[in-house]
Amino acid sequence: MPSKQALVKTLDFQLEIQSGNENLLYGACIESRRVYNETIRLAKNGVDWDMIPDRVAADVDLVKNTTQRVVAKALGAMENYYEYDNFDQPSHTKDGIYPLRANYEEGYNLFLTDDGDVAFRISAKPYQHVEGLLKGSDAHLDILKVGLESDEWEIGTAEVLFHNDSPELHVNVTNTDQTVRDKQDSQTVVGVDVNEDNVALTAFSEDGIKDTIVIEFPEIKFERHRYFTIRKRVQNAGKRSVHDTLEDQEERFVRDRLHKVSRHIVKWSRQFEDPCIVFEDLKEIRDSLDYGTRMNRRLHHLPFRALQHYTSYKAGFEGIPTAWINPEYTSQECPMCGHTERTNRNKKRFKCRDCGHQDHADRGASVNIAAKGIKNHQEWTVPALNSLPTVRTVRRQASGAVDAPTVTHDTVRGYQTDGITGVSD
């Protein structure tokens, strides 16, 4: 029988505080940061990790459960560090405020009101509580209400944090009935190549390539550059408050577009039998980028991981697993003969110097990603390729009442673009 894993989702809400003690919650987050940094300091100084929780708790103005959660988070960061300071010890201390972590029914509680709203009660400090109502999307509120009224969703830990000086509550919920199929039990592997202005998808099964598509979203690149230019001008004029507002507007715009693109990726993948979506593991990509100041700025701001994250959790909500592969040579290897050469690629055009195969460069990369996903995560082998389907290139249209991919012209000379039915959000 195929193995399954429970579906976990994070629901985010804004806090409408009714008790008039907003400063109490902010102060608790500052205290949470102090606990986190003190834990890191003690660990760096060689204190036994089993002794740290008691050492920290002796002088903390937080409830015991919350202190334990923050300490556990800090020690977990110590185990998974990537950066080092001058003493070869992980440097993970935090600036600003730090999220307040709490267990359900210990550090915080949720209730349904007579009006159908969801009320909260957060133990900010010992014997001091913050109360009010949760505000957020109808979809997230509906899930939370089901969890409060039945056993379908199990409410777990939550974090209180501040976004643009506004308090939020992020709640983890688990649905043990709705499961995600194990990636080894998939019948189709969808390779996803995320780029600066498009995402290329290729679906592979034991019978060969089922379909392939390139979805363009040039507006993200354009808007990022436009906001960067405006921010530089207002920064030179000394208008810092306007600069921060522009950053927030840019973030909302990019996040909105990425959510819509990720929904299209999941919907396209869902048409195939038992799909598994495969991404390149790009955690370390910024460390290897050095193409000059202007190009580095563009590449360092690319939302690679954000789009992968949005797609991954939306796929999980559909029961579709995701997997990750090493990105090495995926954009330089010929999907037909396997020849690898850096000069094979010229912008969006790929031409193999060994076998002469020509292709849309990003589509070819998605084929290689899917093939690697099969090798790494499936028991069946990668089928031999004699030819590839015609490249279909679509562009997201996000103006007016229309919000779906529409047919555009292929950008690679010599390849014909055929029609596609747009998918909606």
pLDDT digits (tens, 9 = 90+) for 270-297: 999 999 999 998 765 545 555 455 544 4
From the list 368, 421, 371, 361, the residue with the least C-alpha distance to 391 is 361
Question: 249, 226 in Cβ contact below 8 A?
Answer: no
As given in the structure block, the two tokens for residue 289 are 């980028």
What's the rounded Cα separation, in Å, for the pair 113 and 117? 5
Q: Render the burial of 148-174: b for 16+ CB within 10 Å, e for the rest.
A: eeeeebebebbbbbbeeeebbbbbebe
The partner residues of 174 in beta bridges, in order of sequence, read 8, 154
What's the rounded Cα separation, in Å, for the pair 19 and 185? 51
Non-local (6+) Cβ contacts of 422 within 8 A are: 394, 397, 404, 405, 406
pTM of the shown model: 0.61
- Which of 52-56, 103-107, 414-418 shows the lowest mean pLDDT across its residues? 414-418
pLDDT at residue 397, rounded to an integer = 52
pLDDT at residue 89, rounded to an integer = 56
What's the rounded Cα separation, in Å, for the pair 289 and 300? 8
pLDDT averaged over the chain?
80
Q: Give the residue-averaged pLDDT of 264-275.
A: 95
From the list 51, 98, 45, 96, the residue with the least C-alpha distance to 73 is 98
| Chain segment 9-55, per-residue pLDDT in tens | 889 999 999 866 778 888 999 999 999 999 988 888 888 988 988 88
pLDDT at residue 187, rounded to an integer = 95
| Chain segment 325-366, per-residue pLDDT in tens | 998 889 889 999 988 887 778 888 999 988 899 999 999 999
Which residue type is seen at 272?
F
Q: Give the residue-averaged pLDDT of 110-123.
A: 92
What's the rounded Cα separation, in Å, for the pair 236 and 240? 9
pLDDT at residue 237, rounded to an integer = 72
Query: Does 363 or 142 have the greater pLDDT score?
Result: 363
Query: Does 377 or 403 have the greater pLDDT score?
Result: 377
CA 42 from chain center: how many Å? 32
Q: At CA 258, angle to CA 254 and CA 261, rounded to 5?
A: 140
Residue 98: pLDDT over 70: yes
